[in-house]
């Protein structure tokens, strides 16, 4: 059953990625056709064609490797001096397909009669920008829709009053022996919590008649009550229960005012003799629905965080390589490949992430939706990078064309003509090569050293 649930999570991500790619390319396709550009292909994926159908002048299809997509517009680049009359260079919006086009040295495509003015490079600067931004904006819209649904229908995580029991120790172990002793012997004394019937997942409402507002309150109220009978009120499966426990004297780790365990300069726990119950607890997490007005601020915050991760990719890739080929752990806030996203989804649906699923955890379905929202935000931000073969590279070329024309007009000079962004192909080669290397490294790291969300 676990394997089936894991596979369902991976399948959900695979379908979500495919839909996101397809909608991204529709974001290019619709304005291109609206502005009269001839679009010869709309493809999801790259590599060998699995299925295709022609509708009018456009071939729609699916290719074997669903990790990209493209539309092919005629005349993305203006003709070069010496090009055969009636021909234009072939290119497309997809990163991988562009790389293939470039490897073929931008082969020429015959322009049929009547298509001379249906080429991309003849569009006005604003229309070029709209066409090329259509894809990333579609990813942003997908993320906004998903996040709006999550915030308004499910809510955001908030810390509520109380403490949630994470674990219950069966036998009494001192803080000094806790790191080495992992099993209980039959002769070991049982902990007060175990004897009283406290269970993992219980929400501790009060101890000795005093309301629990945060996790640190549990230790604060238990430690001075050695040998005293203490009433502990918990909520279990929505039902309030009153349990009675008698804390015993034990060597326990001291905690600071913020509730965090204290260690000395050498990293060893600072211990004291105090009342001991035998539980570890964490905050109570609830989900509070938000109004639609909260969506813009939340989306803006996520965009800033996503941009921060993307800007730090070169730095974070060092950590990825060190983790993949060394003994270090992966940074949970670092970049991942589609394989990594799929593993996270599978772990979530299979119940391998403690804070997802169950009575008190985040809904696995909501987690999957949030993954897809994050992925689309990343696609939006990443495609805005002003380098070929990314969409932002074509936008930068269009803006440069507009700037050159404006400067020429102000100086009273002739129209300088269309900017040939193909001259930046050396940059495109370099960027594509870096993207391929990064993708391979991330996939390898996500296989041998995946990011753990179990904490």
> What digits encode the pLDDT tens for the residues 175-231?
555 555 567 777 778 889 899 999 988 899 999 889 988 888 888 888 888 888 999
- Asked if 454 and 352 count as a contact pair (C-beta separation under 8 A), the reply is yes
Does the annotation count 25 as an active-site position? yes
Residue the block writes with tokens 């036998």:
171
* Separation between Cα atoms, residue 366 and residue 151, nearest integer Å: 10
CB burial of 94-126 (b: ≥16 within 10 Å; e: otherwise) equals bbbbbbebbeeebeebebeeebeebbbbbbebe
* Separation between Cα atoms, residue 96 and residue 13, nearest integer Å: 21
DSSP per-residue string spanning 48-66: EEEEEEEETTEEEEEEEEE
How wide is the angle at C-alpha 264 spanned by C-alphas 263 and 268, nearest 5°? 65
Out of 25, 57, 59, 260, the active site residue is 25
Q: How does pLDDT run across 348-406, given as a tens digit for each residue?
A: 888 887 777 766 678 889 999 999 999 999 999 999 988 877 899 889 989 998 999 89
Residue the block writes with tokens 């965080």:
305
Q: Tell me how far the alpha carbon of residue 384 is from its chain's centroid.
A: 17
Which residue intervals of 107-226 are DSSP H helices? 125-149, 192-196, 216-222
Three-state DSSP at 42 gives: strand
- Structural domains for the chain: 158-287 (2.30.42.10)
Q: What is the pTM of this model?
A: 0.79
- Asked if 141 and 30 count as a contact pair (C-beta separation under 8 A), the reply is no
Residue 323 CB coordination number (10 Å)? 19
Specify the DSSP element, H or E, that contains 281.
strand 279-288
pLDDT by residue, tens only, the chain of 455 residues: 678 888 999 899 889 999 999 999 999 999 999 999 999 999 998 788 899 999 999 999 998 887 788 898 888 777 766 666 666 555 556 554 444 444 334 445 667 788 888 888 889 999 999 999 999 999 999 999 999 999 999 988 888 888 888 888 888 775 555 555 567 777 778 889 899 999 988 899 999 889 988 888 888 888 888 888 999 999 988 899 999 989 888 776 666 665 566 666 666 666 677 788 888 888 888 888 999 999 999 999 999 998 888 888 888 888 888 888 887 778 877 788 888 888 888 888 888 877 777 666 788 899 999 999 999 999 999 999 888 778 998 899 899 989 998 998 888 888 888 887 777 767 777 777 888 888 888 888 888 888 877 64
Q: How does pLDDT run across 135-144, given as a tens digit for each residue?
A: 999 999 999 9
* Separation between Cα atoms, residue 91 and residue 77, nearest integer Å: 8
């Amino acid at each position: 059953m676990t394997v089936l649930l894991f596979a369902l999570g991976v399948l959900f991500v695979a379908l979500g990625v495919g839909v996101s790619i397809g909608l991204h390319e529709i974001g290019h396709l619709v304005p291109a056709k609206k502005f009269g550009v001839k679009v010869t292909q709309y493809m999801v994926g790259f590599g060998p064609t699995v299925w295709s159908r022609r509708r009018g002048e456009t071939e729609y299809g699916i290719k074997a490797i669903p990790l990209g997509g493209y539309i092919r517009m005629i005349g993305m680049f203006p003709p070069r001096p010496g090009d055969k009359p009636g021909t234009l260079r072939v290119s497309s919006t997809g990163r991988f397909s562009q790389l293939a086009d470039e490897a073929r040295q931008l082969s020429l495509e015959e322009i049929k009669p009547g298509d001379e003015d249906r080429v991309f490079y003849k569009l006005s600067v604003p229309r070029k920008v709209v066409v090329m931004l259509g894809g990333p904006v579609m990813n942003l819209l997908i993320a906004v829709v998903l996040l709006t649904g999550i915030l308004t229908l499910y809510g955001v995580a908030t810390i509520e009053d109380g403490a949630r029991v994470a674990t219950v120790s069966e036998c009494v172990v001192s803080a000094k022996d806790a790191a080495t002793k992992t099993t209980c012997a039959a002769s070991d004394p049982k902990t007060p919590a175990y004897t009283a019937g406290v269970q993992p997942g219980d929400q501790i409402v009060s101890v000795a008649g005093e309301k629990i507002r945060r996790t640190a309150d549990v230790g604060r109220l238990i430690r001075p009550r050695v040998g005293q009978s203490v009433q502990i009120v918990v909520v279990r499966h929505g039902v309030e229960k009153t349990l009675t426990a008698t804390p015993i004297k034990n060597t326990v780790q001291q905690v600071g005012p913020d509730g965090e365990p204290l260690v000395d300069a050498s990293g060893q726990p600072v211990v004291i003799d105090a009342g001991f119950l035998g539980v570890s607890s964490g905050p109570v997490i609830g989900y509070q629905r938000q109004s639609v007005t909260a969506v813009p601020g939340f989306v803006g915050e996520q965009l800033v965080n996503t941009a921060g991760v993307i800007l730090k990719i070169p730095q974070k890739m060092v950590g990825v390589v060190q983790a993949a080929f060394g003994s270090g752990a992966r940074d949970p806030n670092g970049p991942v490949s589609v394989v990594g996203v799929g593993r996270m989804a599978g772990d979530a649906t299979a119940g391998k992430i403690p804070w997802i699923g169950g009575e008190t955890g985040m809904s696995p379905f909501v987690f999957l939706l949030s993954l897809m929202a994050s992925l689309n935000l990343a696609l939006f931000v990443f495609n805005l990078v002003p380098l070929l073969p990314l969409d932002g590279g074509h936008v930068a070329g269009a803006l440069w064309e507009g700037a050159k024309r404006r400067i020429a007009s102000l100086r009273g000079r002739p129209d300088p003509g269309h900017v040939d962004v193909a001259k930046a192909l050396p940059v495109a080669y370099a960027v594509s090569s870096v993207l391929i290397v990064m993708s391979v490294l991330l996939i390898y790291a996500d296989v041998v050293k995946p990011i753990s969300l179990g904490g």
